[in-house]
Amino acid sequence: MSVERFGFVFRDDSAVSQAVAERDLRALSPSYTRSYGLVATHGSGARLWDEEENEYIDFAAGIAVLSTGFGHPRVVEAIQHQSAAMVHLGGTDFFYRAQVEIAEYLQRIVPIKNANTPEDKLVYLGNSGTESIEAALKLARYKGGNNGKRKEIIAFYGSFHGRTYGALSLTASKAVQRAEYPYIPGGVVHVPYPSKFAYTRSAHKESIEFNPVRYIRDYVFKKARPDEIAAVVVEAIQGEGGYVVPTDSFLPELRALCDEYGILMICDEIQAGIGRTGKWFAFEHWGIQPDIVCTAKGLGSGMPIGAIIAHKDVMSRWIPGAHASTFGGNLVSCRAAVATLQVIETENLMDNARTVGDFALRRLAELQAQFPVIKRAEGIGLMIGVEFADADGKPIPKFRDEVVDQCFLEGLVTLACGTSTIRICPALVITEAEMAQGLEIFAGAIAKALAKTSESEAPHLTSPTRRALIIDDEPEYQTIARRVIQEFDQETQIELAENYEEAARMLDIHSQRYDFVILDSSLTEDATDRKGLDLLRTLRTHRTANGTVIIVYSATLSIADYRALIEEGIIHTLIAKDEAQATDHLLDALGRFLGQAAPVAVK
């Protein structure tokens, strides 16, 4: 039996996963975007298991990171061997065979403009995607590029390039990623990214949103002279932005523009690269060669490593000390990366990505015919986005989240991206049988999510779901409150806390947002009790931050006892719980505060 706790769905009503999640939420930063209550313990290939030994097919691969899957023997061996020999000495200061081997491998496989031999390219090693972007930005702007005055960067709306300050200046995927951060470095112009899907369906193909290169010529060049622009940073397929494939002409036209004005073309292959699309790098599908390539995610099969590869004429501008990182090119990570690339080559995983990816797209086309709620199923190789929309074509993120939850409950790990999309980016070792099995679960999850939607007959697909928290230890009153809330709004998602500690915990998790909280007065009866006061303070914060409606119902206290609390603005209303019409009062209160007429009383 699945349960919902702390705002997340859990597969079993079992203590272990929930206990881990609860401790996590009390110990770790609230900035993580967890989707559901998966507490994973181990994996193998494209499958993984949780604390309760439930098995899952994994369509997410740790955000396209586990390229060779969980526990590939050759990768494990490389990690074990190197970690026993030496983990670190400092890539900034000494020489190592492991770093040389991964650099030479990348010199061989990464296509770079005007580099005719591997030795025409140079490699910089870091620890993550965002560091690859930082390195590329710093390199492109170093000494103002080839003419000394290049500093401006062009990036694209919908793109995600990382979260450190420099990379963040390029990221324009979700507003929350940039919001509230002062002093994000400037000198970046964002232009539209042309979605092929939107383009093929649009009646306005000449629209500027599909012609970013014209946009750059007509608008950006009026603000920044072409010889002041250091680089264009682009994802060949947008990842976090929603797995968006660009129009056919986009990358070649962008390459031509860069050539014309001496602007560096930086391809962010952090998500799409390392064999995922059936070629080493996604940009290869459009026959272009960048000046700088950024890679990370899939490179180390889960070991942290990032790299940038550039023409030696470009990277040789750097002098010793111009850029480095203590952990960059960690020896264990380098060994894991070499093993990863070898496995991808020797086991023909790029062919596998193509065939299993094509199989998935065919099956998804069938599902699309069956479920019109699927607006788009698009991608290359094992980088596929499935986007949902309502009958008007509008995004339906809530519904998408419901599908994600249902997948999880049925044994399929997925992750969302974009506004209304689920990404399919499994390990490159996934078999066709596993893909088929995963897509059956996926289809079942869509059916379940649709059934849940129509059961309620509410405009679920368009209106946001309300959330309520009932804080009460008496089952009788829990039931009343629950029925009242449901009578008022069927769609409201109701959560329950039985005592102070639980309530405080649920309200304490910063990402939680409740539209209303109904609580038993006995929990706040003694205002001198520290716990009671703490709870009220937390409630006040919630009310201020979220506009939460707080209703206290009391069996024992008079309004007078609560006047101070009401006057302080902590509580909206007080209801006599043991009155015969208590439920009517509750309904009235809800109706008043939500600005709607209350429905008839619960029978």
Which residues of this chain interact with ligand PLP, rule CB under 6 A?
Answer: 128-130, 133, 160-162, 235, 239-240, 268, 270-271, 296-297
Closest contact distance (angstroms) between CB of 68 and ligand PLP is: 18
Closest contact distance (angstroms) between CB of 323 and ligand PLP is: 16
Q: Are 551 and 519 in contact (CB under 8 A)?
A: yes
Pick between residue 281 and residue 488 the one whose CB is nearest to ligand PLP: 281
Closest contact distance (angstroms) between CB of 4 and ligand PLP is: 29
Question: What tokens does 86 get?
Answer: 């030496």
Pick between residue 174 and residue 592 the one whose CB is nearest to ligand PLP: 174
Closest contact distance (angstroms) between CB of 380 and ligand PLP is: 15
Question: What tokens does 478 get?
Answer: 């829990």
Closest contact distance (angstroms) between CB of 343 and ligand PLP is: 21
Q: Are 590 and 599 in contact (CB under 8 A)?
A: no
Pick between residue 297 and residue 542 the one whose CB is nearest to ligand PLP: 297
139: CB partners within 8 A, 6+ apart: 124, 292, 308, 310, 314, 315, 317, 318, 323
Pick between residue 11 and residue 297 the one whose CB is nearest to ligand PLP: 297
CA distance 378 to 357: 10
- H-state helical runs in 489-573: 500-508, 530-546, 559-567
Pick between residue 7 and residue 242 the one whose CB is nearest to ligand PLP: 242
- The CA-based dihedral angle spanning residues 175, 179, 183, 185, taken in that order and rounded to the nearest 10 degrees: -10
Tell me phi and psi for residue 514, to 5 degrees. -110, 140
Q: In 3D, which of 3, 35, 1 has the Cα closest to residue 18?
A: 3
Q: Is the dihedral of CA 301, 305, 308, 312 positive or negative?
A: negative
Pick between residue 10 and residue 193 the one whose CB is nearest to ligand PLP: 193
Closest contact distance (angstroms) between CB of 145 and ligand PLP is: 22
Question: What tokens does 200 get?
Answer: 């093929």
Pick between residue 69 and residue 162 the one whose CB is nearest to ligand PLP: 162
Q: Which residue is nearest to ligand PLP (CB)?
A: 129
Closest contact distance (angstroms) between CB of 244 and ligand PLP is: 12
How many C-beta atoms surround the C-beta of residue 356 within 10 A? Answer: 25
Concatenating the DSSP letter of every residue in 445-499 gives: HHHHHHHHHHHHTS-TTTSPPPEEEEE-S-HHHHHHHHHHHHHH-TT-EEEEE-S
| Amino acid present at 151 | K
Pick between residue 235 and residue 489 the one whose CB is nearest to ligand PLP: 235
Q: Are 252 and 275 in contact (CB under 8 A)?
A: no
Closest contact distance (angstroms) between CB of 167 and ligand PLP is: 7
| Amino acid present at 519 | L
Closest contact distance (angstroms) between CB of 160 and ligand PLP is: 5
Angle at 252 between CA 246 and CA 257, to 5 degrees: 115
Question: What tokens does 83 get?
Answer: 């970690």
Pick between residue 99 and residue 130 the one whose CB is nearest to ligand PLP: 130
CA distance 128 to 71: 20
